[in-house]
Amino acid sequence: MTAGTREALMSFPRRLAGAAADMSWGTRLSALIIILYGFAALFAPWIAPYGESEIVGPPFEPWSRTFLLGTDNLGRDMLTRLIYGIRNTIAISLVATLISFLVGVTLGLLSAISGGWVDAALSRVVDTLMAVPQLIFALLLLSVFGTSIPVLIAVITVIETTRVFRLSRALGMDVAAMDYIDVARMRGERTGWIIRREMLPNVAGTLVAEFGLRFCFVFLLISALSFMGLGIQPPTADLGSMVRDNASLITYGDITPLLPAAAIGFLTISVNFVADWYLKTTAKPDASA
């Protein structure tokens, strides 16, 4: 990592703290919710009352002192599964989103600054991949390569990289037209240096907000795939398959299976709010300056 990007990243918490003062209550609540999820994800083994796939009682126990949210279809503690589910789903989404940003931003900025056949070739490939509906693409690939966590991450990374590429190429195009890029070129800087030192700091603000939104999409996509039984495989806990496995409770009017589904929604809404706020307050002044 170079000084320019490091500086941009270092100033990020300071700007965040400064801007937190003018957060609306909705945004503050969202930030709090995200922190709580992060806490649950990081310290799951210490918070959860039982082991991740430990069978602790008869199936479908109602809510009680010993099992705060009852037990699931195999007699595992529902609260424990919920906490581990949050941990696993967040971890996998985060890894997939990070890789797609790493690849997507690099290729997008490269495409923007190189132009010519590099840009044309990359753009055609991305256009074609984006023409296939995401879910169908994922189903097709998962059916061929089987369902394991590395395959899942790879498939989602391919899908997401196309979206990240589109955005960073568009952002990069604006920056690539600036005089300082020409100056850097005439100084004889290498393309990699220009991308890291000149382009990245100028598009970082928008990309951070986009990271939040893309994370939400990935989170929802993984949950949908797991719900179909094609995502994270048992006995690993995850939010989507928890809903599916316990759905029969719903027909008896028990809303416990809705909790993991709601957990997904609250996280995505909160991330949306914070990303929105970040884009409005932090990224805008950057863009106009």
Partner 1 sequence: MNNIAWLITRRVTAGLAVLAVVSTLIFLTVSMLPGNFATEILGQDATPETVAALNRELGLDLPLHARFMEWVGGILQGDLGRSLANQRPVSEIIVPRLFNTLFLAVMAAAMAIPLALLLGLVSVLFRDTPADRILNLGTLSTVSFPEFFIAYLLIVLFAVKLRWLPSIANVSATDPLGVRFEKTLMPALVLSLVVVGHMMRMTRAAVLNLMEMPYIEMAVLKGASRWRVIVHHALANAWSPIITVIMFNLAYLVVGVVVVELIFVYPGLGQLMVDAVQVRDIPVIQACSLIFASTYILLNLGADLFALVTNPKLRRR
Interacting residues toward partner 1 by CB under 8 A: 127-128, 131-136, 139-145, 216, 220, 223-224, 227-230, 240, 243-244, 247, 250-253, 255, 257-258, 261-262, 264-265, 268-269, 272
A 10 A CB-CB count for 281 gives 17
Exposed, middle or buried, 162 (CB in 10 Å: 0-12/13-18/19+)? buried
How many angstroms separate the CA atoms of 150 and 74, rounded? 26
Minimum CB distance to partner 1 smaller for 64 or for 128? 128
Picking from 280, 266, 277, the residue whose alpha carbon sits closest to that of residue 34 is: 266
Nearest distance, CB of residue 62 and partner 1, angstroms: 16
Nearest distance, CB of residue 252 and partner 1, angstroms: 8
Minimum CB distance to partner 1 smaller for 106 or for 241? 241
Minimum CB distance to partner 1 smaller for 134 or for 202? 134
Nearest distance, CB of residue 261 and partner 1, angstroms: 4
Nearest distance, CB of residue 183 and partner 1, angstroms: 30
Handedness of CA 258, 148, 99, 105 (dihedral sign): negative
Q: Residue 20 has which token pair?
A: 């937190």
Minimum CB distance to partner 1 smaller for 34 or for 56? 34
Minimum CB distance to partner 1 smaller for 181 or for 218? 218
Nearest distance, CB of residue 137 and partner 1, angstroms: 8
